[in-house]
Amino acid sequence: MWHYDAIVVGAGAAGLMCAGTAAGFGKSVLILEHADKAGKKILISGGGRCNFTNRLTTTANFISANPHFCKSALARYSSADFIRWVEQSGIAYHERQHGQLFCDDSARDILNMLLAPCRDFGVTIHLNTEVQSITKPDCFRLQTHQGPYTCDSLVIASGGLSVPKMGASAFGLKIAESFGLNIIKPVAGLVPFTFTGKEKEEMKALAGISLDVTVSNRGVSFSEAMLFTHRGLSGPAMLQVSSYLQPGDMLSINLLPNMNVTAFLDLKRQQRPQAQLATVLSELLPRRLVQLLTKGSLGEIRLNQLSEKQLQYIETLLHGWQLKPNGTEGYRTAEVTVGGIDTGELSSKTMESKKVSGLYFIGEVVDVTGHLGGFNFQWAWSSGYAAGMAIAETL
């Protein structure tokens, strides 16, 4: 039976960060990973270029039943700290909109950077290794199909439920439950919306159209691109708001967030009084979308015939189009899991369980979910570092 100071279950972003940190302070560390390679989700992220963090990271970019929980870890290891490591590693990167940072070359650069301290400080990584059971009679005992292992500190970095084809599972949540920890019900986040019936057919007819909008729900708003698909709505704006939407909620979509529609139509009414409404609106929005919004005889009305009531209706429609999704595409295409291990069960400074000494949970398995744009990777780095440092400081 092999004994280690720490065993990390999961060779993803958080797990590699934690292992490298603890090993750097002389701890013997083993990583157990059920997949055939480390960092598989890192490699496919950001279209293969890894949106590794966000320069504008704040606690407001995270969703949790306790919005204050992430503050300590993010303060101890910030986006600036990770950017510094990237630069010291000689990795070229660039910034896109909203502070998102991507590798110039490949996501593999980030994975190699994370693997370097694991290699340099002697971390053992066992791939294709599935953990069958975990108990703690004295120290932690893990049974795998390759044999038993024991450790003083155990870190669960097994990720959430998103992208099951990459091997995602409820393993971490089941382990937490087996040790008596509470779970916040997980749901798919950063995921496209779906529609049914007539609305689905309408969306299908608009598939491929993309435009910048502001979408609002439950007091939050996101101003980014929206994409019509054959199943419903996607694009950054929709993915962002999906993490907040509850069943039965309506979406309010401002199709022209930077335009005063009434002022525009008043001007056009003076310039082209005989022009049809649909023709004029097609100067602002894709024609297929205008046809849907002005279906019936509305689009054929000439500007000089528009009543004040109709003008108000158009203003309300374009600045607050109300849609009710049937649901989402679920974990199959979700980028993250919203919910997870109740943060009330963990130390915000170390990620250690308050009930079970030496048991840590980090990354996506915890009820901390970032917005789209590199924030979930930053949570992986910050929570992984917090746990790694806590293990490093144990006697």
CATH of the domain at 314: 1.10.8.260
Q: What is the pLDDT of residue 328?
A: 95
Last residue of a domain, one of 302, 328, 354: 328
Q: Which of 13, 28, 24 is closest to 149 using CA atoms?
A: 28
Within 8 A by CB and 6+ apart from 185, the residues are: 339
pLDDT tens sequence across 61-95: 999 999 999 999 999 999 999 999 999 999 999 99
pLDDT tens sequence across 207-225: 999 999 999 998 999 999 9
Helix axes 79-88, 375-392, angle to 10 degrees: 90
Instruction: Give this prediction's pTM.
Output: 0.94
Residues 270, 360, single domain; the answer is no
pLDDT category, 291, cuts 50, 70, 90? very high
Domain membership of residue 267 (yes or no) is yes
CATH assignment of the domain containing 248:
2.40.30.10
Last residue of a domain, one of 297, 328, 359: 328
Last residue of a domain, one of 308, 328, 348: 328
Residues 29, 129, single domain; the answer is yes
Rounded Cα distance between 343 and 184, Å, is: 9
Q: What is the pLDDT of residue 57?
A: 97
Q: Determine contact, residues 250/256, Cβ cutoff 8 Å.
A: no
Q: What is the pLDDT of residue 167?
A: 74
pLDDT category, 164, cuts 50, 70, 90? confident
pLDDT tens sequence across 263-276: 999 999 999 999 99
Instruction: Give the alpha-carbon dihedral of 238, 244, 248, 251, to 10 degrees.
Output: -40
CATH assignment of the domain containing 158:
3.50.50.60
Residues 40, 125, single domain; the answer is yes
Residue 146: which domain range? 2-186+338-392
Residues 7, 144, single domain; the answer is yes
pLDDT tens sequence across 17-64: 999 999 999 999 999 999 999 999 999 999 999 999 999 999 999 999
pLDDT above 90 for 395: no
| For the chain, percent of residues with pLDDT exceeding 70 | 100
Instruction: Give the alpha-carbon dihedral of 247, 248, 254, 255, to 10 degrees.
Output: 90
Residues 99, 141, single domain; the answer is yes
Q: What is the pLDDT of residue 175?
A: 96
Domain membership of residue 351 (yes or no) is yes
Q: Which amino acid is at 125?
A: I
Q: Determine contact, residues 10/156, Cβ cutoff 8 Å.
A: yes
Residues 78, 153, single domain; the answer is yes
Q: Do strands 147-156 and 2-9 pair parallel, antiparallel, or not at all (unpaired)?
A: parallel
pLDDT above 90 for 160: no
Q: What is the pLDDT of residue 310?
A: 92
Q: What is the pLDDT of residue 161?
A: 84
Domain membership of residue 333 (yes or no) is no
Q: What is the pLDDT of residue 228?
A: 97
Degrees, nearest 5: CA angle 339-71-16:
70
- Tokens 């992220």 correspond to 45
Residues 115, 202, single domain; the answer is no
Residues 12, 159, single domain; the answer is yes
Residues 53, 111, single domain; the answer is yes
Rounded Cα distance between 294 and 313, Å, is: 11
Q: What total of structural domains would you count in the chain?
A: 3
Residues 379, 285, single domain; the answer is no
Whole-number mean pLDDT of the chain? 95
**Cβ atoms within 10 Å, residue 119:** 12
Q: Determine contact, residues 364/376, Cβ cutoff 8 Å.
A: yes
Degrees, nearest 5: CA angle 48-50-51:
135
Q: For residue 394, give Cα distances in angstroms to 43, 124, 137, 234, 285.
A: 33, 20, 19, 46, 60
Rounded Cα distance between 229 and 213, Å, is: 16
Residues 22, 47, single domain; the answer is yes
**Cβ atoms within 10 Å, residue 80:** 10
Residues 223, 302, single domain; the answer is no
Q: What is the pLDDT of residue 215?
A: 98
